[in-house]
Amino acid sequence: MGLFSQSPTVAARRLAEIERKLDLIIAHLGIDLPPDEHEDVRALALSGQKIEAIKRYRERTGAGLAEAKEYVDSIV
């Protein structure tokens, strides 16, 4: 069964598990990831300023409104 054919709760848990495993692999291999280029967008979203976060993401990436909203919604 694919990740997207599951309920949002189950999919979120599976995605979190996949991310955890990737973090372990990255740490084991000693890979240094570049800093999050959207840290300010993340901070805005987490502080409840979703509209400003969406606006900033769009300015940085040239993304459309739907894509930017989806990105910000994935943070919170």
Regarding whether 39 and 23 lie in a shared domain, the answer is no
Contact between 4 and 11 under an 8 Å Cβ cutoff? The reply is yes
Tokens of 50: 């979703």
Helix (H) or strand (E) holding 48: none
Do both 41 and 74 map to the same domain?
A: yes
18 & 52 share domain: no
For 27-53, write each residue's pLDDT tens digit.
999 988 777 788 999 999 999 999 999
Number of domains composing the chain: 2
18 and 43 fall within a common domain = no
Q: Does the reported pTM lie above 0.85?
A: no
* Structural domain boundaries, residue 24: 1-33
Q: How confident is the model at residue 10 (pLDDT cuts 50, 70, 90)?
A: confident
Q: Measuring CA to CA, which residue among 75, 10, 16 is closest to residue 47?
A: 75
pLDDT (tens digit per residue) in 48-62: 999 999 999 999 999
40 and 28 in a common domain: no
Is the per-residue pLDDT at 1 higher than 60? no
Same domain, yes or no: 25 and 47: no
pLDDT value at residue 32 = 86
The rounded distance, in Å, linking the Cα atoms of 54 and 71 is 8
How many CA atoms within 13 Å lie on the side-chain side of 36? 8
